[in-house]
Structure 1
Amino acid sequence: MTALDPALVTDWFAVHARDLPWRRPGFSAWGTLVSEFMLQQTQVARVVPILEEWLRRWPTPADLAAAPPAEVLRAWGRLGYPRRALALHACATAIADRHGNVVPEDVDELLALPGIGDYTARAIAVFAHGHRHPVVDTNVRRVIARAVQGVAQPEAPAARRDLPAMAALLPDDLVEQRAFNAGMMEIGAVVCTSRSPRCDECPLAAVCAWRLAGSPAHDGPPPRRQARFEGSDRQLRGRVMAELRASDVPVAEAELAAVLPDPGVRSRILVGLERDGLATRAEGGWTLPA
Structure 2
Amino acid sequence: MVSARQVNPWYRENRRDLPWRRPGFPAWGTLVSEFMLQQTQVSRVLPRLEEWLRRWPTPADLAATPPGEAVRAWDRLGYPRRALALHSAAVAIAEQHDGKVPADVDALLALPGIGQYTARAIAVFAYGLRHPVVDTNVRRVIARAVEGQGLAGPAATARDLAAMDALLPAENDEAAVFNAGMMELGAIVCTARNPKCDACPLADVCRWRALGYPAYAGPRAPRQQRYVGSDREARGRILAVLRGSEVPVSEEALVEAVTEPDRRSRILEGLLKDGLAALTDDGYALP
1:106 aligns with 2:104: yes
Partner of 1:274, secondary structure, is helix
1:155 aligns with 2:158: no
Give the match for residue 260 of structure 2. 262
> Which shows bigger deviation, 221-230 or 159-168?
221-230
Shift of 1:5: 2.5
CA RMSD of aligned residues (A): 1.0
Give the match for residue 65 of structure 2. 67
Give the match for residue 184 of structure 1. 182
Partner of 1:240, secondary structure, is helix
> Which shows bigger deviation, 152-161 or 233-242?
152-161
Aligned AA for 2:233? Q
State the identity %: 65
Shift of 1:85: 0.3
Partner of 1:56, secondary structure, is helix
Give the match for residue 92 of structure 1. 90
Give the match for residue 139 of structure 1. 137
Give the match for residue 30 of structure 1. 28
Number of residue-to-residue matches in the alignment: 287
Give the match for residue 174 of structure 1. 172
How far apart are the structure 2 equivalents of 1:216 and 1:134? Answer: 27
Shift of 1:196: 2.0
Asked whether the equivalents of residues 154 and 219 of structure 2 are also in contact (C-alpha less than 8 Å), the reply is no
Shift of 1:251: 1.1
Give the match for residue 276 of structure 2. 278
Asked whether the equivalents of residues 153 and 220 of structure 2 are also in contact (C-alpha less than 8 Å), the reply is no
Shift of 1:275: 0.4
Asked whether the equivalents of residues 76 and 82 of structure 1 are also in contact (C-alpha less than 8 Å), the reply is yes
Q: Deviations over 1:77-99 (max 9, x none)?
A: 10010100000000000001001
Structure 1 stretches of at least 4 aligned residues deviating more than 4 Å after TM superposition: none
Aligned AA for 2:190? C
Shift of 1:195: 2.1
Give the match for residue 199 of structure 2. 201
1:43 aligns with 2:41: yes
Asked whether the equivalents of residues 153 and 223 of structure 1 are also in contact (C-alpha less than 8 Å), the reply is no
Partner of 1:260, secondary structure, is coil
How far apart are the structure 1 equivalents of 2:67 and 2:4? Answer: 44
Equivalent of 1:120, from 110, 113, 118? 118
Aligned AA for 2:46? V
Give the match for residue 245 of structure 2. 247
Shift of 1:124: 0.5
How far apart are the structure 2 equivalents of 1:221 and 1:23? Answer: 34
Aligned AA for 2:123? A
Shift of 1:223: 4.4
Aligned AA for 1:90? S
Partner of 2:142, secondary structure, is helix
Gaps of 5+ in 1: none
How far apart are the structure 2 equivalents of 1:252 and 1:98? Answer: 38
Give the match for residue 80 of structure 2. 82
Give the match for residue 229 of structure 1. 227
Shift of 1:62: 0.5
> Which shows bigger deviation, 221-230 or 174-183?
221-230
